[in-house]
Amino acid sequence: MNYFSSDFKLGILGGGQLGKMLLTDTRKFDIQTLVLDPSGEAPSRFGSNAFYKGSLMDFDTVYQFGKMVNLLTIEIENVNLDALDKLEEEGLPVYPSPKTLRLIQNKGRQKDFYVANGIPTSPHLRFVGLNELRNSLEKDELEFPFVWKSAQFGYDGNGVKICRSALDLVKLPDVECIAETLVPFKNELAVIVARSASGEVKTYPVVEMEFHPEANQVEYVICPARISEAVAQKAQEVALKVSEAFNHVGLLAVEMFQTEDDQILVNEVAPRPHNSGHYSIEASYTSQFENHLRAILSLPLGSTESKVAGIMVNLVGEEGHEGQVFYENIDKIMAIDGVTPHIYGKRETRPFRKMGHVTIVNEDMSLARKIAEEVKNSIRVISVQ
Amino acid sequence: MNYFSSDFKLGILGGGQLGKMLLTDTRKFDIQTLVLDPSGEAPSRFGSNAFYKGSLMDFDTVYQFGKMVNLLTIEIENVNLDALDKLEEEGLPVYPSPKTLRLIQNKGRQKDFYVANGIPTSPHLRFVGLNELRNSLEKDELEFPFVWKSAQFGYDGNGVKICRSALDLVKLPDVECIAETLVPFKNELAVIVARSASGEVKTYPVVEMEFHPEANQVEYVICPARISEAVAQKAQEVALKVSEAFNHVGLLAVEMFQTEDDQILVNEVAPRPHNSGHYSIEASYTSQFENHLRAILSLPLGSTESKVAGIMVNLVGEEGHEGQVFYENIDKIMAIDGVTPHIYGKRETRPFRKMGHVTIVNEDMSLARKIAEEVKNSIRVISVQ
């Protein structure tokens, strides 16, 4: 297939920052792209060959969009799957497949899938709603503490709550959910697997999420993870097993826990480029976005090795700030060698809104880590006064 | 100044591949851009916030375009300078300045400028036309062999001819020109200097143009150049002197000869991102395009050091092929680690048309050089049969 400066058209469902970064590589290869997003202000409204505003959950909108392209991918999981099923039936390649997306869209189904495929994950119970969960507690099938997760539409910490007593249940929404055993862990790790339609597979190095000591929030994504070679190998093996079980095409980001006794438990997956792989733009021989493209287009996968150590810091809107964004001290961090800000292109900041990220690369990991802290302590995403 | 996700608008004159690669970084920083190019098929027609089709040589078109932006830069030298003068007079920052562009647009003036500023360059004579040149030969002021260069509008080997006898003069156009002494040289080198409005200066490492042993054509741009530290230092010093003499803002690519006796002679300059710096996208901590942006916006310059060795191979249209382009064996070269094709987005190939480039990066320069040869021997830019 001739993708380069040709009539071939790639459709992307979703026009957020992941889509925007993917477009960097479609432009590099001059592959035509069509983007669909519900917001006219989406970061991907520029850089594609054509941008369409429309609902990703509406059958007709997604189906009609799919009829205009030669291959369809996503940058967000919550899309109309019936439309994808029909498009796939009619012969359109859809990567990731709607079958995988259906498994992933529902956390209960996703967990059941791991169990069925012998993939290590923390024990869980599924509930249609809060009442069923309460009954389970009364019958002592479920015990405190546990991790409550909404089965659908949760992201970035939304739809997740650690429940230590009945008090924690009061504010939970009455939706389909799961309860997971709270497993103490040393590290939160992630491995991105690239798998092409032809079956070629490559894994990126294991990355480590470093949390703020108090605020239980990821502060840094660090590549490579500062873990033993044995644990890294185990994490990569588990990630490969997950990718194979899904028969996945494209990128699959596998988030995992390293338990106190060095077991690897799969937490959840994202079937697309992922926040934990942003470091790859500057640090890797091939960025996650380029490898997603290569994988879905059945092109040879690029090297997933790193040129240098990489650390990623998310830029989220400060509390107490809403309105036209201002990146305070961005010039200060840009004066440091190996520091690259990525600004997603959202004009309006809101507390905790993901507005961008900063990558820090260095030959020396400990120096990169020091600089990352300096970056984190300098830049602030605030509103124009 | 707040450039990021703000109302600030950067104007770019020219929408070719250099503009397209610059847009990768304006998108990364979410800086609004307006692009002007005479072709509706220009590579930069996507990726900017607004694309305008219009002549770069027309006073009114350039002037009106300039009135819409907060800062103006170029990706091609041949633009209407009177319009830039007027815009600059009216307070618009224009980088590079029209004064510099005027010096550079005319090779005679450019050479005189080097002489006046004590910058080493090969001896030259200026002529208003062919008759004056012939008179000079008759009076023995000028002797064969020499290098004839059209004073204006020459690029990529057009407008340059080595003249060894009167026969070589027959086909030359009767235009303003210069004749340069033919100096034997060992190497053709280039240094890119980034200089910001605030006066901060950084030089990229010296790169080397490796020529095909028979077809006098650049085959590889190699970073770092395989030369002695002493010669590299001299080349960087000369480049800095040139940048300072022009009081240049933005990128200045300085092309130089390393003579048989290790002198450095300036050949010519380009006041913008340059083919000799394309390797920097994959090999450097900061690409030339990002540093051009940083320089003209008075942001701190990024590190110009390399993460790994880089080699660039141009992709030009094969002889005998015209029409819808096909990149034969592109999948084959993409299977090699560290190989990244850049496809500029020109649908139609023509013999020798610059259609893209390929970057090869590797920790080991000699391995990179071997892979570059493999790339060069594999990929062909042909037309669809």
Q: List pLDDT tens digits, range B149-163.
A: 999 876 556 789 999
8 A C-beta contact, residue B69 and residue B62: no
> Can you name the residues that pair with B45 across neighbouring β-strands?
none
- Residue B305: per-residue pLDDT: 98
User: Given pLDDT bands bounded at 50, 70 and 90, which one contains residue A218?
Assistant: confident
Give the chain A residue nearest B301 (alpha carbons).
Answer: A335
Please provide the average confidence, as pLDDT, over all residues in chain A: 95
Task: Please state, as a whole number, how many other Cβ atoms lie within 10 Å of the Cβ of residue B15.
Answer: 29
- As given in the structure block, the two tokens for residue B307 are 């993460």
* Distance separating alpha carbons of residues B49 and B29, to the nearest angstrom: 13
CB hemisphere CA count around A150 (13 angstroms): 14
8 A C-beta contact, residue B129 and residue B177: yes
Task: Please state, as a whole number, how many other Cβ atoms lie within 10 Å of the Cβ of residue A158.
Answer: 10
- In this predicted model, what pLDDT tens digit does every residue of A20-66 receive, in sequence order? 999 999 999 999 999 999 999 999 999 999 999 999 999 999 999 99
Instruction: For residue B123, say if its preceding peptide bond is cis, omega within 30 degrees of 0.
Output: no
- Residue B108: per-residue pLDDT: 96
**pLDDT at residue B302 tops 80:** yes
User: Given pLDDT bands bounded at 50, 70 and 90, which one contains residue B61?
Assistant: very high
- Contact (CB<8Å) B345/A302: no
In angstroms, what CA-CA distances link A349 with A15, A39, A292, A321?
18, 16, 29, 7
- Which residues fall within 8 angstroms of residue A71, CB to CB, at 6 or more apart? A8, A9, A10, A11, A92, A93, A94, A95, A296, A297
Chain A partners of B43 at a C-beta cutoff of 8 Å?
30
- Residue B26: per-residue pLDDT: 98
- Contact (CB<8Å) B2/A384: yes
* Ordered domains of chain B (ranges, CATH): 9-94 (3.40.50.20), 123-181 (3.30.1490.20), 184-300 (3.30.470.20), 308-385 (3.30.470.20)
For the residues of A187-225, what is the DSSP string, one character each?
A: EEEEEEEEE-TT--EEEPPPEEEEEPTTT-SEEEEEES-
CA–CA min distance A132, chain B (Å) = 47
To which residue do tokens 């224009």 refer? B94
- Residue A155: per-residue pLDDT: 58
To which residue do tokens 């608008």 refer? B9
- As given in the structure block, the two tokens for residue B27 are 């998108």
CA–CA min distance A65, chain B (Å) = 20
Chain A partners of B307 at a C-beta cutoff of 8 Å?
307-308, 361, 363
Residue type, B255: E
Could you tell me what percent of chain A has a pLDDT over 70? 98
- Which residues fall within 8 angstroms of residue A365, CB to CB, at 6 or more apart? A222, A224, A226, A309
- Contact (CB<8Å) B331/A303: no
In angstroms, what CA-CA distances link A297 with A22, A96, A327, B98?
13, 12, 37, 45
Degrees to nearest 5, angle at CA B317 with B312 and B322: 165
Task: Please state, as a whole number, how many other Cβ atoms lie within 10 Å of the Cβ of residue A136.
Answer: 17
* Distance separating alpha carbons of residues A161 and A182, to the nearest angstrom: 11
8 A C-beta contact, residue A100 and residue A246: yes
CA–CA min distance A318, chain B (Å) = 16
A305 annotated as ligand-binding: no
- Contact (CB<8Å) A5/B345: yes
Chain A partners of B361 at a C-beta cutoff of 8 Å?
285, 307
Least confident of A150-154, B178-182, B315-319: A150-154
- Contact (CB<8Å) A303/B338: yes
- Residue B213: per-residue pLDDT: 76
**How many residue pairs bridge chain A and chain B with CB atoms within 8 Å of each other?**
115
A107 annotated as ligand-binding: yes
- Contact (CB<8Å) A24/B20: no
A53 annotated as ligand-binding: no
- Residue B211: per-residue pLDDT: 85
**Out of B2, B285, B341, closest to residue A29 by CB:** B341
Handedness of CA A234, A237, A242, A243 (dihedral sign): positive
- Residue B154: per-residue pLDDT: 66
- Which residues fall within 8 angstroms of residue B228, CB to CB, at 6 or more apart? none
- Contact (CB<8Å) B30/A308: no
- Contact (CB<8Å) A334/B384: no
Complex ipTM, two decimals?
0.95
In angstroms, what CA-CA distances link A359 with A209, A250, B154?
14, 23, 41
In angstroms, what CA-CA distances link A137 with A34, A171, A173, A179, A182?
49, 17, 17, 11, 15
Q: Please name the helix (run of DSSP H) or strand (run of DSSP E) that holds residue B234, with its range, or none.
A: helix B229-245
CA–CA min distance B343, chain A (Å) = 5
Chain A partners of B28 at a C-beta cutoff of 8 Å?
24, 340, 342-343
* Distance separating alpha carbons of residues B267 and A14, to the nearest angstrom: 49
- Contact (CB<8Å) A345/B30: yes
A117 annotated as ligand-binding: no
E strand intervals along chain A: 9-13, 32-37, 50-53, 71-74, 124-127, 146-150, 160-163, 177-181, 185-195, 201-203, 207-211, 218-223, 250-259, 264-270, 309-316, 323-328, 339-343, 348-349, 354-362, 380-383
Please provide the average confidence, as pLDDT, over all residues in chain B: 95
Give the chain A residue nearest B361 (alpha carbons).
Answer: A285
CA–CA min distance B227, chain A (Å) = 24
A363 annotated as ligand-binding: no
- Residue A213: per-residue pLDDT: 76
Give the chain B residue nearest A341 (alpha carbons).
Answer: B29
- Residue B156: per-residue pLDDT: 57
Could you tell me what percent of chain B has a pLDDT over 70? 98
The mean per-residue pLDDT over the stretch A265-288 comes to 97
Produce one character per residue of A203-218: b if its CB has 16 or more CB atoms within 10 Å, e if not.
bbbbbbbbeeeeeeeb
- Which residues fall within 8 angstroms of residue B364, CB to CB, at 6 or more apart? B309
Determine the length of chain B: 385
Mutate which: B3, B4, B5, vs A, most A CBs within 10 A: B5
Handedness of CA B133, B137, B141, B145 (dihedral sign): positive
* Distance separating alpha carbons of residues A186 and A231, to the nearest angstrom: 12
- As given in the structure block, the two tokens for residue A254 are 């596998």
- In this predicted model, what pLDDT tens digit does every residue of B90-141 receive, in sequence order? 999 999 999 999 999 999 999 999 999 999 999 999 999 999 999 999 999 9
CA–CA min distance B194, chain A (Å) = 14
Determine the length of chain A: 385
- Contact (CB<8Å) A343/B5: yes
* Distance separating alpha carbons of residues B44 and A315, to the nearest angstrom: 29
Chain B partners of A337 at a C-beta cutoff of 8 Å?
285, 302-303, 305
- Residue B214: per-residue pLDDT: 73
Q: Please name the helix (run of DSSP H) or strand (run of DSSP E) that holds residue B103, with its range, or none.
A: helix B98-105
Instruction: For residue A224, say if its preceding peptide bond is cis, omega within 30 degrees of 0.
Output: yes
**Out of A23, A46, A337, closest to residue B303 by CB:** A337
Degrees to nearest 5, angle at CA A95 with A224 and A276: 20
**pLDDT at residue B264 tops 70:** yes
- Residue A157: per-residue pLDDT: 60
Where on the phi/psi map is residue B91: left (φ > 0), alpha (ψ -120 to 50), or beta?
left
- Contact (CB<8Å) B330/A285: no
To which residue do tokens 């079958």 refer? A99
CA–CA min distance A284, chain B (Å) = 9
User: Given pLDDT bands bounded at 50, 70 and 90, which one contains residue B348?
Assistant: very high
- Contact (CB<8Å) A30/B285: no
Handedness of CA B183, B184, B188, B189 (dihedral sign): negative
- In this predicted model, what pLDDT tens digit does every residue of B189-214 receive, in sequence order? 999 999 998 899 999 999 999 987 77
Shortest CA distance to A341 belongs to which of A368, A310, A308, A375? A375
- The binding site of B for ATP consists of 107, 149, 180-183, 188, 267-268
